[in-house]
Amino acid sequence: MKNAIVAVQMLIRLTGLIQLILGVFFWMGIAANLVQVHTAVGGLFVLLLWIMAILAIRSGTNKGLAISMIVWGAVVLGLGMTQVDLLPGSSHWVIEALHLLVGVAAIGQAEALGARLKRAGAAKKPA
């Protein structure tokens, strides 16, 4: 299971980085044609969050954080899929900033849960 955790965590990092880079491009007004890529990678990112949470639940490691990550993943997905329609006009930047913060918080949650999973795995190894 340790290999799966490491692989999922690395993929979360990679997809999160891609999302941040694309987001910066969008804020700069370039790469508007990559919105569908951003949406697809975002869906994969959320799926990876849920897989990590399931791995944590199955291992018995911090079920509370794992469940909160499942819920937070749904928030990320919901906000990402509806943000175009939220607060249109000159104030839409507030939604964009919120979307960024929610995504970065998801990356942080994944890092925290991944670290706990790794520590729990290390604690189970014989000395």
Which tens digit of pLDDT belongs to each residue from 4-56? 889 999 999 999 999 999 999 998 999 889 999 999 999 999 999 999 999 99
In 3D space, the residue among 70, 82, 80, 100 whose CA is nearest the CA of residue 40 turns out to be 80
pTM above 0.85, yes or no: yes
Query: Given this model, what pLDDT does residue 121 score?
Result: 73
Query: Given this model, what pLDDT does residue 127 score?
Result: 47
Query: Given this model, what pLDDT does residue 66 score?
Result: 93
Residues 6 or more apart in contact with residue 4 via CB below 8 angstroms: 55
Average pLDDT, the chain: 90
In 3D space, the residue among 48, 25, 28 whose CA is nearest the CA of residue 37 turns out to be 25
> Structural domain boundaries of the chain?
2-118
Structure tokens at 83: 């943000």
Instruction: Give the Cα separation of 69 and 53 in Å (integer).
Output: 6
